Amino acid sequence: MSATVTLMHVAQEAGVSPSTVSRILNGTANVTPDKRERVEAVIHRLNFTPNVQAQALANGRSFSVGVLTQKLSSAFYGETLAGIEQGLDGSPYHPLVVSGHWRAKQEQQALDLLIRRRVDALIVLGGVIGDAALQRVAAQMPLVAVGREVSGLPERCVLIDNHAGIRQVVLHLAGLGHRDIAYIGGDECQQDAVERRQGFEDSLREMGLPFQPRLVMIGDYTEVSGEWAAAELLASGLPFTALVCANDQMAFGARLSLYRRGLRVPEDISLTGFDDLFNSRYTTPPLTTVHQAVNELGQLAAETVLRLLAGEQPHLSSYVPQLVIRESTGPAPLSPTAGGH
């Protein structure tokens, strides 16, 4: 319809040079009050909005921060993104989100896309793409990784202490008298899955409890896989009184399996998760889990990126998640009902 109005139009209309308008827009230099007013009036009247692409081209920064996430529809990433958006809010920067779906190839494409769009910085949320690719990017622009380690960039990673997280779970359960504890882990192509499983094993030993490999199942962090794994565990006939899941989503799935079997939580079996997704507060019973302040982590990442962009050298440290005890865990029953049929 109406050809978009440019800075040039504003300048002509107000009877000043384009430079002056630009200066008013960016506050780059002083401008006499009357001109300023005149220009601002015209801007308002013509409803002028600067073209960000042109600005980007002219001064070499796009004012956008790339965010490489994995799955938009997952609550986990959703909350992190919200945190990032919040953290960037108030700054001139804006997030540009792409998802990699845990596939190295898609992540690479996503990265390429962000580079084409000339993002000024990058936030990486998890992912399986090789460190090399990220290092290459990091050489060009500020980069912050959340929940994954990137070799060579220790100061740029917010690490979650998964080991400590699971340890709290095991201690809690051991304290409740549980001895036969089953575990549903994530696909070990992901770093945190490895750490959590390892944490489980180690903590069991630390508590002097037997580590029973047959009570360990591997899922893929989805609800279905948790449902399936729990069903297998139950079908195996092996007795256990507590079930530790490597993330909340699998715990949700497991919960359903238990329900189908008519097992009560926590009277018959104690159930735990990891992540503390928003929904974990609303399962029946509310889930005992390990709280990762995902939203805050997102904010932290955003703020760190802003600092890096401002030329500072912030230091990121690892984050210790906290156990949240709700109602899905309770004292171990006298005799394990779980596999006992």
Partner DNA sequence: CATTCACTTGACAGCGCTTTCAAAATCGTC
Partner DNA sequence: GACGATTTTGAAAGCGCTGTCAAGTGAATG
Rounded distance between C-alpha atoms, residue 203 and residue 175, angstroms: 12
Q: Which two tokens stand for residue 202?
A: 């180690």
Closer to its own copies by CB, 18 or 286: give it: 286
In the shown chain, the binding pattern of residues 218 to 257 toward its own copies, with x for contact by CB under 8 A and - for none, equals -----x---x------------------------xx-xx-
Under the criterion CB under 8 A, does residue 132 sit at the interface with its own copies?
A: no
Closest contact distance (angstroms) between CB of 201 and its own copies is: 28
Q: Which span sits near its own copies by CB under 8 A: 113-121, 163-171, 177-185, 302-310? A: 113-121
Q: Which of 1, 47, 60, 208 binds DNA (CB under 7 A)?
A: 60
Contact predicate 301/79, CB 8 Å: no
Under the criterion CB under 7 A, does residue 2 sit at the interface with DNA?
A: no
Contact predicate 183/242, CB 8 Å: no
Q: Which span sits near DNA by CB under 7 A: 49-57, 201-209, 292-300, 317-325? A: 49-57
Closest contact distance (angstroms) between CB of 124 and its own copies is: 18
What is the b/e burial string over 23-45, where b = at least 16 CB atoms within 10 angstroms of the residue's CB?
bbbeeeeebeeebbebbeebbee
Specify the 3-state DSSP secondary structure of 311.
coil
Q: Which of 37, 41, 43, 55 binds DNA (CB under 7 A)?
A: 55
Contacts of DNA in 3-32 (CB under 7 A): 4, 6-8, 15-23, 25-26, 28-32
Closest contact distance (angstroms) between CB of 75 and its own copies is: 6
- Give one word for 65, left, alpha or beta, with left for phi > 0 and alpha for psi -120 to 50: beta
Specify the 3-state DSSP secondary structure of 213.
helix
Under the criterion CB under 8 A, does residue 17 sit at the interface with its own copies?
A: no
Under the criterion CB under 8 A, does residue 113 sit at the interface with its own copies?
A: yes
Under the criterion CB under 8 A, does residue 165 sit at the interface with its own copies?
A: no
147 CB neighbour count, 10 Å cutoff = 24
Under the criterion CB under 7 A, does residue 322 sit at the interface with DNA?
A: no
- The closest alpha carbon to 99, from 83, 86, 80, 118, belongs to 80
Under the criterion CB under 8 A, does residue 295 sit at the interface with its own copies?
A: yes
Rounded distance between C-alpha atoms, residue 108 and residue 116, angstroms: 12
Closer to its own copies by CB, 211 or 278: give it: 278
Q: What is the DSSP string of 141-192?
A: S-EEEESS--TT-GGGEE-B-HHHHHHHHHHHHHHTT---EEEEE--TTSHH
Closer to its own copies by CB, 106 or 212: give it: 106
Strand ranges across the sheet with 216-218 = 216-218, 181-185, 242-245, 270-272
Closest contact distance (angstroms) between CB of 58 and its own copies is: 9
Element (H, E) at 232: helix 223-236
The item of DNA, its own copies, none sharing an interface with residue 317, based on CB under 5 to 8 Å by kind, is none
Q: Which span sits near its own copies by CB under 8 A: 43-51, 123-131, 148-156, 317-325? A: 43-51
Q: Which of 30, 49, 317, 335 binds its own copies (CB under 8 A)?
A: 49
Q: Could you tell me the CA-to-CA distances from 115 to 85, 98, 107, 257 in Å, in that order?
A: 20, 12, 12, 44
Q: Which residues bind DNA (CB under 7 A)?
A: 4, 6-8, 15-23, 25-26, 28-32, 35, 48, 50-51, 54-55, 57-60
